Amino acid sequence: MPKFQAPRGTRDLLPADATTYRRMSDIASRLSELYGYRPIETPMFEDSAVFERGIGEVTDIVEKELFRIRSPGSDEDRWALRPEATAGICRAFVEHGMHTLPQPVRLATFGPMFRYDRPQAGRYRQFYQWNVEAIGDAGPAIDAELIELALRFVRDVGVQDVELHLNSIGDAACRPAYIAALVEYLAKYEDALPPTERHRLRANPLRVLDTRDARTQAILDDAPTIDAFLCPACRDHFDSLLAHLDRLEVPIHRAPRLVRGLDYYTRTAFELYQRGAEGQQSALGGGGRYDGLIELFGARPTPGVGFALGIDRIAMLAAKQGVAESIGKPVAVVVGADPAATDVRLALATQLRAAGVATGADLAPRKLGRQLEGAAREGAHFAIVIGDELEAGQVQLRDLEAGTQRLVNVADLVRELQRAHASHRHGESDTSPTAT
């Protein structure tokens, strides 16, 4: 047992995982740019009050999961590590007077978040999110833009079978009547509720809908849903959102009990799940409208909407679906019949790298058979075998997966590799003439 290990609930992202995360971060950056969401970086820690106010005092995140920090010499925990990004971004929006910019202000950030939660599969104390916000537009078209963007990310990462769960949670005008009806219903079962849910019922009844307790979930099966309580303005907003999503051909799954349990959350609420894997633990991400939040930071009322995708869970799903396997592997490895000719191998690899092809080179003076084994172990699609043909400007291009090989002019190598690798990734077979 080594003397030191990574703290409980944290992980080292070794090269294979780190490559997947890096790739997801690249996809997030590319999509942010494509959709006009500009990057923002806020501190990893903030005044605790930013989270207490911006997330809500009666939430698991603030009650139990904040990593609080004490500054040296102080006797209070003034700071906390960020458990999510929205609160810090809204704080920054107000601090920098972003309401004077053209509205809405579209912002995105990618990075680690920290929650002192009980670690388990898919639940860590340091985890990663891609967070996207649009502040200053009451929607509903922008809600649809964000939802489609979240789904586009998952699709571009290569993960399949992700379902959008969607609800409207009303606003300050209509939610109170719904909460009253919910409380009236749950009060009948109060004795059957576990202490946590009883506490929630009194402190913040909507949060009972988020319960992880199976017995409470069964009780909730017959509870009233918010649908019947939406006021005309919230109903219009939701109907229009549905129409926009339909226009974008985004399939939805109505989730009448999906809530975000805080007053400043309004109207749109959504979560992404792998099909058939519903339940709190497995949400890949979630988001919604928070029209009352900016006001809590002392600015004039400003509507906002955003989402956070859980990169760790999406990466896990990508690995399960085999998506991650080809990421970060070399397209080709240069090997050679003459073990000692490492300079020739390195020179060709350097030439291919300069042309943008991810290329490895076997730089150990070992036999060709060994070099080929190494290339296969690295997961390369091709081995480029240097032999006597090099004098005529040719090398053997060996497809390690198909077990075929053919002579290729060195001058054509980049084009050949790019074409063959691209068609391979898209599931087509390389139909060029081959000879083994």
> What is the contact mask toward ligand AMP in residues 294 to 333, using x (rule: CB under 6 A)?
--------------x-x-xx--------------------
CA distances from 319 to 129, 254, 290, 314 (A): 17, 28, 33, 9
Nearer to ligand AMP by Cβ, of 99 and 123: the residue is 123
> Contact with ligand AMP (CB under 6 A): which of 22, 68, 99, 123?
123
Instruction: Compute the half-sphere exposure of residue 328: CA atoms within 13 Å on the CB side of its CA.
Output: 15
Element (H, E) at 34: helix 15-35
- 129 sits near ligand AMP (criterion: CB under 6 A): yes
117 touches ligand AMP by CB under 6 A: yes
Tokens of 283: 């949400």
Residue 120 DSSP code: B
Q: Is residue 110 involved in binding ligand AMP (CB under 6 A)?
A: no
Residue nearest to ligand AMP (CB): 310
Q: Decide if residue 283 touches ligand AMP (CB under 6 A).
A: yes
Binder among 124, 178, 270, 382 for ligand AMP (CB under 6 A): 124
Please provide the DSSP assignment of 300-317 as one string.
Answer: ----EEEEEEEHHHHHHH
Q: Which residue has the tokens 């020179």?
A: 347
Residue type, 339: P
Q: How far is the CB of 408 from ligand AMP (least distance, A)?
A: 45
Nearer to ligand AMP by Cβ, of 54 and 360: the residue is 54
Does position 150 interact with ligand AMP (CB under 6 A)? The reply is no
DSSP conformational letter for 338: S
Q: Which position among 284, 332, 384, 395 is part of the footprint of ligand AMP (CB under 6 A)?
A: 284
Beta carbon of residue 285, minimum distance to ligand AMP (angstroms, whole number): 5
Residue 84 lies near ligand AMP (rule: CB under 6 A) = yes
67 vs 229 by CB, closer to ligand AMP? 67
Q: Which is nearer to ligand AMP, 283 or 395 (CB)?
A: 283
The rounded distance, in Å, linking the Cα atoms of 109 and 127 is 14
Nearer to ligand AMP, 277 or 402 (CB): 277
Q: How many helices (H) and strands (E) does the chain have?
A: 14, 16
Per the CB < 8 A criterion, the answer to whether 271 and 169 are in contact is: no
Cα angle at 148 between 143 and 149, to 5 degrees?
A: 95
Q: Which of 106, 115, 381, 398 binds ligand AMP (CB under 6 A)?
A: 115
> What is the C-alpha separation between 228 and 241, in angstroms, rounded?
18
Interface with ligand AMP, residue 11, by CB under 6 A: no
130 touches ligand AMP by CB under 6 A: no
**Shortest CB 128 distance to ligand AMP, Å:** 8
Told to check if 104 binds ligand AMP by CB under 6 A, we report: no
Binder of ligand AMP out of 261, 285, 288, 303 (CB under 6 A): 285
Kindly tell me which residue out of 127, 130, 264, 265 binds ligand AMP, with binding defined by CB under 6 A: 127
Q: State both tokens at 300.
A: 């004039």
Amino acid at 76: E
DSSP state letters, 50-114: HHHHHH-TTSHHHHT---EE--TT-SS--EEE-S-SHHHHHHHHHHTTGGGSSSSEEEEEEEEEE
Binding interface with ligand AMP (CB under 6 A): 84, 115, 117, 122-124, 127, 129, 283-286, 308, 310, 312-313
